[in-house]
Amino acid sequence: MTQHTRLTPPDADLMPVAIIDDEADMRASIAQWMELSDFAPQTFASAADALEVIDADFAGVVITDVRMPGMDGLELLAALLKRDDSLPVILITGHGDVAMAVEAMRAGAYDFIEKPFDPERLADLARRAATARRLTIDNRLLRRELADGTVLMRRLMGDSAPMKALRATVLDYAQAEAPVLVRGERGAGRSLIARALHASGPKPEQPFITINCAAEDGARLEEQLFKRDRSGNPPLLAVNRGALCFKNISALPPRLQALLTDAIERRRLQDGTPVTARVISIAEEDHERDIEAGTLLPQFAEVLSALVVNAPALRDCGEDILTIFNHYCQSFANEYDITAPSLSAEDAATLLSHPWPGNMRQLINTAERYILRNRQDAVPVQAVLDMAQANATAPDAPARNLKDQVETFERLMIENALRRHSGAVTPAMTDLGLPRRTLNEKMAKYGISRADFS
């Protein structure tokens, strides 16, 4: 079998391009031009060789000659589109093959170019195809992330007791069929928890449908939940092992609450259709206020809360606040292509003592503002919080003893020194004014590894 040749080393910033042609000189010429045009070319002498490498997750563009011995370019096109119908394939044709190439485009080819061709025009075609491919891959990765329980679980980060308990509860309840109530303060990540419940369950590929009861017309919603549409699609409650996530459930009309209660309890609609959708609800910390006000039927509230997941308030998560804040600072710094500033001891004290009335949502917003404000001048976290006036109505923060705060600041200063010097211990010792033995002991105490900063 003819071996394919990679002309450039893999580069995450370069779009791969697969070049298939049985003529060695033509392969080399196209590959050279693609390399000069900021692509990462990979060449193949036959369609069979290419099919061994190019799969549905191939992140690049395919350029293939039409007339080749054995499997020709059109047969290759058909085989590739079976694997991924959005893969951009550019055909190289002879003068007499134009009509055939037009038919190929109707069958799914991205475009074609006639011999002899201007290499810059081919590069331009490849650039446009690469832009389309990147969009496809990004959308595909986003869909996978939303359906990947492990990815979503990693976003429930932290080592505090409340966060560990949350992750354990989500994994326990994900496999159950009973309705789940996710309750907690606004901004505490309730929607993320609801998605993690579905994505960690047995059917993550099935739909996750969010319904804001306060924004829906009652009659229209009743029709969607209980009746087939004009195309014969099943009602939402019969979505096969998908999830229905209800927000603002007290806004539902009493009649609809009663119908949902009956359907969930019986696991069947009134016409006998099985209820197969997983019901997840998002609410404030308790229903008592809505029940007393008469906007929420007690039986409906009881049915929805067969299983309960409590989203912890951020102020109860201790040093997780620093971990999460640093994570999002680095994420935003990468997004804006700037260097994340090191948190000072004063910044850490501010983050730990702030009551975070807006919880995780407020912390993420603060991290982004902090990164943006520190692009030119050093701005402390407290100034960012003051500008947002986030603490106007905050409840009292839980007290942290002096020993805990001193240890937190000490660990933060050691990590910042190692980060500045890429994990080198000797200059970090100089910055901190500590002998090597003392620094080693403290790194061992806090579980700090220099490898994390090299």
Dump pLDDT digits (tens) for 269-279.
888 889 888 99
Question: Which residue carries 């949502």 as its tokens?
Answer: 361
pLDDT score recorded for residue 391: 41
Cβ 18 vs Cβ 58: under 8 Å: yes
pLDDT score recorded for residue 400: 58
* Mean of all residue pLDDT scores within the chain: 84
Statement: the pTM of the whole predicted model exceeds 0.85: no
∠ CA(18), CA(20), CA(23), 5° rounding?
140
Pairing of the two strands 278-283 and 243-247: parallel
Work out the pLDDT band at 165, boundaries 50, 70, 90: very high
Dump pLDDT digits (tens) for 94-115.
877 778 888 888 888 999 998 8
pLDDT score recorded for residue 133: 87
Question: Which residue carries 């986003």 as its tokens?
Answer: 142
Class at the top of the CATH hierarchy for domain 314-398: mainly alpha
Which of 62-71, 112-121, 415-424 bottoms out in mean pLDDT, i.e. has the lowest? Answer: 415-424
Dump pLDDT digits (tens) for 233-248.
778 888 776 889 999 8
Report which of 66, 50, 59, 60 is spatially closest to residue 105, judged by C-alpha positions: 66
Residue type for 333, please?
A
Q: Which residue has the higher pLDDT, 405 or 197?
A: 197
Q: How many CB atoms lie within 10 A of CB 329?
A: 21
pLDDT score recorded for residue 5: 41
pLDDT score recorded for residue 144: 63
Dihedral sign, Cα of residue 273, residue 279, residue 283, residue 286 = positive
Query: Cα 199 to the chain's mean position, in Å?
Result: 12
Asked, colleague to colleague, whether 149-312 and 314-398 share their fold, the answer is: no
Q: Percent of the chain beyond pLDDT 90?
A: 39
Report which of 357, 282, 370 is spatially closest to residue 314, judged by C-alpha positions: 357
Q: For the chain, what are the domain ranges?
A: 5-144, 149-312, 314-398, 401-454
How does DSSP classify residue 268? B
**1 pLDDT higher than 60:** no
Class at the top of the CATH hierarchy for domain 5-144: alpha beta
pLDDT score recorded for residue 390: 40
Work out the pLDDT band at 452, boundaries 50, 70, 90: low
Work out the pLDDT band at 441, boundaries 50, 70, 90: confident
d(C-alpha 202, C-alpha 176), whole Å: 9
Cβ 353 vs Cβ 320: under 8 Å: no
Q: Percent of the chain beyond pLDDT 70?
A: 88
**9 pLDDT higher than 50:** no
Would you call 180 helix, strand, or coil by DSSP? Answer: strand
What are the Cα distances from residue 415, in Å, to 309, 344, 412, 443? 34, 11, 5, 9
pLDDT score recorded for residue 177: 87
Dump pLDDT digits (tens) for 312-337.
999 999 999 999 999 999 988 887 78
Superfamily assignment of 149-312 in CATH?
P-loop containing nucleotide triphosphate hydrolases (3.40.50.300)
